[in-house]
Structure 1
């Protein structure tokens, strides 16, 4: 984007002397026009601070730059990486700003710059593609004398190298007005809300604004032209402060609005028009307003904590609590399978989960009912603690995950999903809690491998893999088939938990915590992401297969990571057709409450659910001195001003299909990785897990035939099944007859 309407004052070189004298940092070069001194001011990256500063890691070039020196560069897609030029200007006046750099074919076609000048800021995008040294205009702007102005390049443009070399500030005659700092209020428009469009319009020095308008087009309607006011009476701030505004009447749901801002000065110079747009979203009638509550510290460990938790969240119109009822193979409820959490402070008879459920579900006196979801940490079962006698690894050390060298992490222990016993234990833990407590949902965390492909070398998992693939020995950590195996082990565990939970309580909500991704990850390259390839968690595949109700990507990004935050969320939204997305947001990563508020509002405007991580860490990263009370007050007034119940998922409350599940055995032993399908039902094919279990979703009502085939075998078993009611789970067990089965199936 070129604010000078496509031409550069560089092209008017008769106004400038032909010889440039280079000095590092702020260089003064004589010219024949402009304010006092009439000299170019050059800020070059080679000088470093204070004239040139960067944030993040920028790579030093090996090629020569604009002045024969060097330059620095970054790739695209990361706006948190910035390079800033800080000139020292000898006099106030109008200056053309020119970016000087070495163009090349591998450069970005859209390098986003922000110019901060006397009166505001403006965005300017230029292409750095080409050949040779270029000086490209960012426009003419009024600057004050001294060091107040600056130009910032971010790494957030299109793919390609973003070059930071020199910036030239050239005295110039007055140019057209500059339109910048464009905003709308509210930032995310919903039905029934009037929307104010604002901008700053800055004339060059010696000029005045005579006309300011905005053309507004609503899809399907006639374009309207509204006056932009700077009179202090149109939601524009103070009169004559340079901020202009126009108010749009409330718009209907799904309205697509585009607008063009225009301005003219008293010399009939027209500003470069600035375009924008927004979508009007319908107000939700139900939405997920969740918060994770850990059991590591103060949360729900005694009566007072439980009461404070429920009271605070109810007052803030949060409608769902996710309680960490299993953090390291322990239980924050009365469990028949795992030892009691050691830090429960409510006394030996206190049941943390039961107490929160009682308080949250209490609707006496008009109180609102909060949902309670049980949050289980699936695979991490030790974090430095001494194992209790009843701990799963005390009873079954053979379930432990090992590294490629055969050792276990000395500090942190994990269950290996490649061991059938580990999967069945985790499933039993979930079902035990579900059977004995009135929980509304199940949330699985650490449902993956630890970071790094060296994990997963449990002997039983290795034996299963080798037997099924005709191999011996240990596969390499990066072996493709071995990676696929580990990923499939996690997916089969998720599938089993989902089906078994549905079978017990069909309407219980089943969600998983997904490792978030960066700005460059899309559905198209998902299988190249570290989430997919290193921790073997295919949560995009789970959404598409319908083996979870909601994905909860842990999208813990700071305010400055907007591109990455939205990219991860949008990827989940795009994959959740038929299921849903609840975005995990991290207030502790934000330096202001406003950063959290903006992310929450953006997620709502895009139709997602919201989940905060975590209770009692809401302002730990806040640099403004905000308190937790202020955080919850802002949440209530700015995001959740009135109560809404959580959604009732249509696929749970009005299902049209059902589920077939069961086991495949051979000679009384479970068959590992038997192929099972519903004959004639596309997409139904699956495999059994290490216990011989299978689950097939999306089975329509009617009579069906199942076919099971052992791995590498020709013997096939046929069974009949009838799906009478949508939403039901029908069990069909199949026996392939007597045959040898590997020892791994017995675990």
Structure 2
């Protein structure tokens, strides 16, 4: 596989520290925007989502057209769906190569990285997380997880609904409460980072499924391995109801644990990789629904992305704020979620994702202006992304015109002549906002594992991180025995397991260094 690097220069550092596409003009990199030298101070993330079920990634010509269209719209990033349902639009990552009709000698991700980087664009590898398969016919690859661990296997990985339903249509979903699923998904993300010169991993479907028995009730997660883990940790022996609060929180924690582990382990592979997540924004904003914990995001699909941002285990939040701006109610919903998103970035970044396919171009421009407006608390998101490249406006979605024409019209409206008569929202080229916590880190992270000799990982064990006799963090081991804590100040720490529950070494002294992950392993003689 060919990696694209500037001669004797770290391309990613140049992009972020020196003004993105603007900085590359002086380096003679082809494809950068004319006059970009004058816009080096503009920092704003701008991207299309490019799904793997439509045009964009199927051959070299499509990739070149995609990069050109993104550049014409003064975008600086592409979020490309390379992992759809346990398959990959690539050759060198963990998932098997997709069954989609692409040439045998063509690696879509490799081609996209090379073309996009030459044009000064970031590439974020979009990875569907908890989607397993979605066709009546099984995948061709023998090592696809649906074939190895799907329905009927000795160790099924798919989620089950409370009523026993295993799929919706032909859609099967991974269960994040199964430890082997977590291992597989983490290894998938890490393999993309290890083998391709991507700028980020973009997590989609990082939650429990829709298609619940009742709106507001989280009905999925009844995989037998997950249930057994829940019973072992809580001491219960029942099958909990879907709306059982303890069971709901346990499942919510499984999703958060997965995000945390992907963050830490991809960081260990590449400290500057950007981890982003496409997050849920159903209905009106949280304040209108009675608070964050009353939203369907938190209560139904069990995705606590507000907490992820506060903890710092996501670099870039990309809420899928898919609303029709020509509908007054949905226009209100859109702006309420924008405000909540901007006001809950903590020390990370957020951009607003809108559905260009549900809106005509003038509506999209209005939504972008709204997304970039300062909130009452004085906060702003750092950019915008649109879904999707394949369907750039409502007219295209309804079959009234072609996507190429719509993309040209959208690019013209964004960069040259705004339909509302104002200044075009993307009139100037922009650099990706620098992720200073990655490029100039002031903290470090710790990860580790706890296992019993000859008996495997220890699940649900509390781990404390102490410094100078003060507890600075507490976490719990996952089903793989893994634990992790992010953003610790540099220095010496004691990692401790609870007294009275373990036999063997219970304390480890570690040094945390800026910009790195410190690993620690506990191999116990047994449990009390």
Q: 1:727 aligns with which of 503, 515, 527?
A: 515
2:16 aligned partner: none
Deviations 1:628-676 (A, max 9, x none): 3211211222221121111111111111110010101123421101111
Instruction: Write the distance in 2 (CA, Å) between the matches of 1:284 and 1:563.
Output: 32
Q: 1:504 aligns with which of 235, 259, 269?
A: 269
1:527 aligned partner: 293
Instruction: Write the distance in 2 (CA, Å) between the matches of 1:582 and 1:425.
Output: 28
- 1:351 is aligned to 2:107: yes
SS at match of 2:250: helix
1:314 aligned partner: 71
SS at match of 2:133: strand
Asked whether the equivalents of residues 502 and 524 of structure 2 are also in contact (C-alpha less than 8 Å), the reply is no
Asked whether the equivalents of residues 502 and 526 of structure 2 are also in contact (C-alpha less than 8 Å), the reply is no
Shift of 1:695: 0.5
2:59 aligned partner: 302
1:443 aligned partner: 202
Call closer, same or farther: CA 1:429–1:596 in 2, change over 3 Å.
Answer: same
2:81 aligned partner: 324
Deviations 1:589-611 (A, max 9, x none): 11x31110111122223332201
- The structure 1 segments of at least 4 consecutive aligned residues displaced by more than 6 Å after TM superposition are 622-626
Instruction: Write the distance in 2 (CA, Å) between the matches of 1:528 and 1:604.
Output: 26
TM-score, normalised via structure 1 length: 0.58
1:249 aligned partner: none
Q: 2:414 aligns with which of 635, 647, 650?
A: 635
Instruction: Write the distance in 1 (CA, Å) between the matches of 2:198 and 2:345.
Output: 24
Asked whether the equivalents of residues 131 and 174 of structure 2 are also in contact (C-alpha less than 8 Å), the reply is yes
Shift of 1:714: 6.8
1:285 aligned partner: 42
1:573 aligned partner: 342
**Hey, which of these two has a bigger chunk of strand by percent?**
1
2:388 aligned partner: 614
Call closer, same or farther: CA 1:737–1:621 in 2, change over 3 Å.
Answer: farther
Decide which structure has the larger Cα Rg and report it: 1
Instruction: Write the distance in 2 (CA, Å) between the matches of 1:537 and 1:392.
Output: 24
Asked whether the equivalents of residues 513 and 554 of structure 1 are also in contact (C-alpha less than 8 Å), the reply is yes
Which aligned pairs between 1:81-100 and structure 2 lie closer than 5 A? none
Shift of 1:612: 0.5
Which aligned pairs between 1:221-620 and structure 2 lie closer than 5 A? 285-345=42-102, 347-362=103-118, 368-388=119-139, 389-397=142-150, 398-409=156-167, 410-451=169-210, 452=212, 453-522=218-287, 525-559=291-325, 560=327, 561-590=330-359, 592-606=360-374, 607-608=380-381, 609-620=383-394
SS at match of 2:497: strand
Deviations 1:301-336 (A, max 9, x none): 101100100011112211100110011110100145
Asked whether the equivalents of residues 449 and 456 of structure 1 are also in contact (C-alpha less than 8 Å), the reply is yes
Shift of 1:582: 1.2
Asked whether the equivalents of residues 667 and 739 of structure 1 are also in contact (C-alpha less than 8 Å), the reply is no
Shift of 1:284: 6.5
Instruction: Write the distance in 2 (CA, Å) between the matches of 1:308 and 1:515.
Output: 30
Call closer, same or farther: CA 1:682–1:577 in 2, change over 3 Å.
Answer: farther
Instruction: Write the distance in 1 (CA, Å) between the matches of 2:461 and 2:113.
Output: 41
SS at match of 1:556: coil
Asked whether the equivalents of residues 380 and 446 of structure 1 are also in contact (C-alpha less than 8 Å), the reply is yes
Deviations 1:136-162 (A, max 9, x none): xxxxxxxxxxxxxxxxxxxxxxxxxxx
Which aligned pairs between 1:117-266 and structure 2 lie closer than 5 A? none
Shift of 1:344: 3.4
- 1:688 is aligned to 2:477: yes
TM-score, normalised via structure 2 length: 0.81
Call closer, same or farther: CA 1:520–1:501 in 2, change over 3 Å.
Answer: closer
Asked whether the equivalents of residues 518 and 567 of structure 1 are also in contact (C-alpha less than 8 Å), the reply is no
Shift of 1:531: 0.9
Shift of 1:682: 5.3
Residue ranges of structure 1 left out of the alignment (5+ in a row): 1-281, 363-367, 741-747
Instruction: Write the distance in 2 (CA, Å) between the matches of 1:462 and 1:311.
Output: 49
Asked whether the equivalents of residues 458 and 477 of structure 2 are also in contact (C-alpha less than 8 Å), the reply is yes
Shift of 1:406: 3.1
CA RMSD after TM alignment: 2.1
1:671 aligned partner: 458
SS at match of 2:194: helix
Deviations 1:336-357 (A, max 9, x none): 5322222233x10100010011
Instruction: Write the distance in 1 (CA, Å) between the matches of 2:294 and 2:54.
Output: 37
Q: 2:436 aligns with which of 637, 644, 650?
A: 650
Call closer, same or farther: CA 1:617–1:530 in 2, change over 3 Å.
Answer: same
Instruction: Write the distance in 2 (CA, Å) between the matches of 1:376 and 1:684.
Output: 30
Q: 1:660 aligns with which of 446, 449, 452?
A: 446
Asked whether the equivalents of residues 448 and 536 of structure 1 are also in contact (C-alpha less than 8 Å), the reply is yes
Asked whether the equivalents of residues 587 and 621 of structure 1 are also in contact (C-alpha less than 8 Å), the reply is no
Asked whether the equivalents of residues 518 and 568 of structure 1 are also in contact (C-alpha less than 8 Å), the reply is no
- 1:704 is aligned to 2:493: yes
Asked whether the equivalents of residues 178 and 223 of structure 2 are also in contact (C-alpha less than 8 Å), the reply is yes
2:524 aligned partner: 736
Report how many aligned residue pairs link the two structures. 450
Shift of 1:520: 4.5
